[in-house]
Structure 1
Amino acid sequence: MRLNRILLSAALVVLALVVQVSIFARLHLPGAVPDLVLLVVVALALVHGHTAGALVGFGAGLLADLAPPADHATGRYALVLCLIGYLVGLVRPETGRLRSATVPMLAVLAAAIGSTLLYALVGSLVGDTAARHVGLTGLVCTAALYDLLLAPFTVPLIMALARRTAGDPLTAEGTAVATAEGPYSRMSGGSFRVGRASRTGRKNLMGRRSWIGGQRGGLLVRSAKKQRIKIKGGKRL
């Protein structure tokens, strides 16, 4: 990942975590808490792909595990967001552009439900049964509702900011990767295509060849004329 992409992702995650802990957690809404960190991970994964989504999800989850008032085992939410970021990144189209808002909204819905279920599952494996006492069904429904209401105001903005740093060929999965070592660039299917630079080089090369050929032709014509003049002069003598 590029430095500007890392800085932007880190800034968005920290800002989302601060807003979530200082504002959303104090609203005392029924059921779950709106998960702004999850929305950031989903938006970045939709733009940058599954590799960046998994990395951002792990870092964001680890910060959420360490941020107060965390009352669960460290690494629990990091594992959940890492899996969510990876799975959401697989939905990213090959062109990196989404033509409608249906895919992001479905990704947010699936991420909200999946993160809540995975969090409860991991908690049950480590002996945390708090989700059973609160009601897992109510947590899933409220988490999906809150995240869907918050997504139209956050996900498009985050994706627009992330697209400005999406020109890095290191994490552009499924798209053509241009190499600076030659005039050919490799496509996702293993084939090759000729780039604009190679076409321009070919045009310049053809122009140089024609110019050199013209110069040679001119020299040959001039030498032939000189020989004719010499021959004519010999006849006159």
Structure 2
Amino acid sequence: MRVNRILLSAPLIVVALVVQVSVLARLHLPGAVPDLLLLTVLGLAMVYGHVGGALIGFGAGLLADLAPPADHAAGRYALVLCVIGYLAGLIKPENGQIKSATGPMLVVVGAAIGSTLLYAGVGALVGDTAARHVGLTGLLFTAALYDLLLAPFIVPAVMFLARRAENDPLGETGSAGKSSDISSGWLSSGTGLRIGGQRGGLKMKVTKARVARAGRIKGVKRL
């Protein structure tokens, strides 16, 4: 990953996790907890692509697994966000900009439902049956509802910051400088022969004029 991606993703993930744990988790909303970390990973993945999304998702999930008051096995949520980040990165447009909000909203709903199901499935494999006691249907509905309500405020802002980080002015200046150097070199190589030929022609004309003038002067002296 690029350095500017890491410098942007790390603070965003930390802030999202702190807000989710210290604020959203203490609201005691019915059902699931609004997953601000998931929305941040989705916004970054839809700009950085599937590879960047998978790496960011894994790092964010691992940080959530280790942050208190985590009560599950380490690596469980890292696996979930790694898969979600990879899948969300597959819909990345070529220019990094999404014109319609319908696509991202569908991605948010699918990610909320998919992450809840995947988290419950991994928990069932390791013997955690908490989802059964809470009610999986209620978790799916509330998770999709809460994330969908937060998505218009979080996902566009994260994508905007990610695109700004991708469009590095220094990199663009360097690229422009290289292209100008190449164009300058191309122009000089393409027109060097003509310019040289013109200069050579001028020199020859000046030499002939001097010779003719000298001849005329000598002729005058002879007379």
Name the TM-score, length of structure 1 as normaliser.
0.82
SS in 1 for 2:100: coil
User: Structure 1 stretch 227-236 or stretch 148-157: which is displaced more?
Assistant: 227-236
SS in 2 for 1:165: helix
Unpaired runs of 5+ in structure 2?
169-173
Which of residues 182, 187, 196 is equivalent to 1:212?
Answer: 196
Structure number with higher helix proportion: 2
Distance 1:159-1:125 versus aligned 2 partners, 3 A rule = same
User: Which residue number in structure 1 is paired with residue 171 of structure 2?
Assistant: none
> What amino acid is the match of 1:206?
G
Q: Map of 1:100-179 to 2, 5 A cutoff?
A: 100-167=100-167
User: Which residue number in structure 1 is paired with residue 50 of structure 2?
Assistant: 50
Cα distance in 2 for partners of 1:134, 1:196 equals: 63
SS in 1 for 2:140: helix
Q: Does 1:80 align with 2:80?
A: yes
Unpaired runs of 5+ in structure 1?
169-178, 184-194
Q: Map of 1:93-104 to 2, 5 A cutoff?
A: 93-104=93-104
Cα distance in 1 for partners of 2:193, 2:114 equals: 63
Q: Does 1:7 align with 2:15?
A: no
Instruction: State the structure with more CA Rg.
Output: 2
Distance 1:130-1:157 versus aligned 2 partners, 3 A rule = same
In the TM superposition, what whole-angstrom CA distance separates every residue of 1:58-84 from its partner, at most 9, and x where no partner exists? 110001111111111100000000011
User: Which residue number in structure 2 is paired with residue 175 of structure 1?
Assistant: none
Aligned-pair identity in percent equals 62
Which of residues 186, 196, 208 is equivalent to 1:224?
Answer: 208
Cα distance in 1 for partners of 2:181, 2:134 equals: 62
User: Which residue number in structure 2 is paired with residue 41 of structure 1?
Assistant: 41
Q: Is the CA contact (8 Å cut-off) linking 2:4 and 2:166 kept in structure 1? A: no
Cα distance in 2 for partners of 1:50, 1:166 equals: 16
